[in-house]
Amino acid sequence: MTLNAWIPVFALMTSLIASLVIFALPEKGYRLRTAVNLVAALLKLGLVVVMVRGVFLGVDYGVSFTMVPGVTFVLKADAFSMMFAGLSAVLWLLTTIYAVGYLEDSPNRSRFFGFFSLCVASTMGIALAGNLFTFFLFYEMLTLSTYPLVVHRGTETALKAGRTYLIYTLTGGAVLLLAIAWLHGVAGDLPFREGGHFIDADPDIHRSLILIFMLLVAGLGVKAAIFPLHGWLPQAMVAPAPVSALLHAVAVVKAGAFGIVRVVYDIYGVEASSALGLLEPLSWLAAFTILYASVRALRQVDLKRRLAFSTVSQVSYIILGVSIFGPVAAVGGLVHLLHQGIMKITLFFCAGNYAETLGIHRIDEMDGAGRRMPGTSVAFTIGAFGMIGAPPLAGFITKWTMGSGSLAVNMDWVVVVLVFSSLLNAAYFLPVLYRLWFREAGVTWPHERHWGRLETSAWLYWPPLLTAAMTVMVGVLASLPFSPLSWAELIMLREYAP
């Protein structure tokens, strides 16, 4: 095999090896651990950049071997996988930086970073998986490697949240496995392929295909937190902030959404999905989730829980986008995969900063925090406005593209959903911003720490600002080549004209 074939494997291995090394390091090896983390993250980013360029030029990256008789293990880089891989590579770097600062002086750091890298490896595997079987492999690996992070604090609440998380995800995994095995029985080993496999499917298997699709969505919907399978996500917010940030805003929920996109586009094929009548119910489900979770978010008093419900709502944008049969709307959905990740991670970083620097967890404690922590608060504001869909930020590009796309295929109700969702987003984010900037702070903060010159530790300070800057950049520069929007357009071009 050529070097190209191995690049995806290397990309996977960087974090896997980092994880093993970190497990082996002693708890006190702070510098070495940080160095290993950062070097691995940079290396991975470099590999992803190489692959992005290669995929754009049409280079074939991939490796496959027969794992179980009849099934192959396939790692492959296509345009869509690079989107997810790029997201996780960039955000892994930032989150690692953040986590180093966040977990300063807390126990069990080796364990934390080990599993953290393992999660990233799983995410990478999900991104690069070339068929459903391989996807499932990493999907479950992600479940397992996240659990120790959710229960990291070892408190009763954390363990309870961990249990809920497992009940949801493992059950979802079992359903997914059933669906994949069934599909395998019906149609054999199907690689992900633009245009899907079932355009001219035998009418005899239509019923099975529909049932399998429902099972697949149910299984993947747990991680994607589609209503009514979202219950684990708000509870999982007891995890340390970097975990909430990377995993529950980006990796885990996106894994579910990514899987659904894969199923719709690269297994069934969007035309076949539409012909089988699968897309419309999916779009209703997604639309309902968007609105329902936003309403729930309104009522949360804990900042991270509010963000969690917001995640539930926002992830369904992706589902909504792909369940509209039209390339433009789908671009909107796909691009949200990145946009939502960047925006939500910003918000979670900031929430972590408030918690770590000032001891703030509840929204009503945030009065006047903008003055004490302007950098963090600016980042939070940008993230929140991005979520609302205010132009020219990332969220606006999503909404605009998705709105135009749904109008183009005469699904006007989608626009109404988008606008309502924006209103609800505004309703639950603007009061927070108001408290941040326009309320006078109380006499003391619940638990304040000082870090010299900056408002907080430098490790915590820069990541949210960087992601906030990215939120602005991906919006403002949406039409540049290699911007998320252009990349999503490239994916759709290949999907609709395979």
Between 126 and 249, name the residue whose CB sits nearer to another protein: 126
Residue among 21, 38, 153, 302 that touches another protein (CB under 8 A): 153
Footprint on residues 14-33 left by another protein (CB under 8 A): 23
d(CA 239, CA 331) in angstroms, rounded, equals 32
Footprint on residues 88-127 left by another protein (CB under 8 A): 107-108, 110-111
CB of residue 347 to another protein, shortest distance in Å: 17
CB of residue 498 to another protein, shortest distance in Å: 25
Asked if 323 is part of the footprint of another protein (rule: CB under 8 A), the reply reads: no
Choices 32-40, 141-149, 248-256, 441-449 (CB under 8 A): range interacting with another protein:
141-149
Asked if 156 is part of the footprint of another protein (rule: CB under 8 A), the reply reads: yes
Between 163 and 494, name the residue whose CB sits nearer to another protein: 163
Residue among 35, 59, 423, 458 that touches another protein (CB under 8 A): 423
Q: Residues 6 or more apart from 137 whose CB is under 8 A from it?
A: 73, 125, 129
Asked if 211 is part of the footprint of another protein (rule: CB under 8 A), the reply reads: no
CB of residue 138 to another protein, shortest distance in Å: 8
Asked if 191 is part of the footprint of another protein (rule: CB under 8 A), the reply reads: no
Q: Which residue has the tokens 């790029």?
A: 86
CB of residue 51 to another protein, shortest distance in Å: 23
CB of residue 104 to another protein, shortest distance in Å: 18
Q: Residues 6 or more apart from 481 whose CB is under 8 A from it?
A: none
Residue among 147, 168, 268, 292 that touches another protein (CB under 8 A): 147
* Sign for the pseudo-dihedral over CA of 51, 56, 59, 65: positive
Closest CA to 323 of 231, 238, 261, 365: 261
Asked if 210 is part of the footprint of another protein (rule: CB under 8 A), the reply reads: no
CB of residue 475 to another protein, shortest distance in Å: 7
CB of residue 462 to another protein, shortest distance in Å: 13
**Strands 61-68, 71-77: pairing kind:** antiparallel
CB of residue 359 to another protein, shortest distance in Å: 20
Footprint on residues 59-88 left by another protein (CB under 8 A): 65-71, 73
d(CA 314, CA 395) in angstroms, rounded, equals 10
Residue among 25, 177, 218, 275 that touches another protein (CB under 8 A): 177
| Residue 417: φ, ψ to 5° | -60, -45
Q: Residues 6 or more apart from 275 whose CB is under 8 A from it?
A: none
Asked if 166 is part of the footprint of another protein (rule: CB under 8 A), the reply reads: yes
Choices 139-147, 247-255, 333-341, 357-365 (CB under 8 A): range interacting with another protein:
139-147
Q: Which amino acid is at 49?
A: V
Footprint on residues 446-475 left by another protein (CB under 8 A): 475
Please say whether the beta carbons of 343 and 395 come within 8 A: yes
3-state class percentages of the chain: helix first, strand second, coil last, to nearest 5: 75, 5, 20
Please say whether the beta carbons of 8 and 128 come within 8 A: yes
CB of residue 132 to another protein, shortest distance in Å: 12
Opening angle at CA 404, ends 398 and 406, nearest 5:
95
- Cβ atoms within 10 Å, residue 57: 7
Pair of tokens at residue 462:
């820069």
Pair of tokens at residue 488:
């999503």
Residue among 173, 333, 352, 464 that touches another protein (CB under 8 A): 173
Please say whether the beta carbons of 342 and 467 come within 8 A: yes
Asked if 438 is part of the footprint of another protein (rule: CB under 8 A), the reply reads: yes
Q: Which amino acid is at 310?
A: S
Asked if 204 is part of the footprint of another protein (rule: CB under 8 A), the reply reads: no
CB of residue 197 to another protein, shortest distance in Å: 18
Pair of tokens at residue 155:
């408190």
Q: How many residues bind another protein (CB under 8 A)?
A: 74
Q: Three-state DSSP class for 277?
A: coil
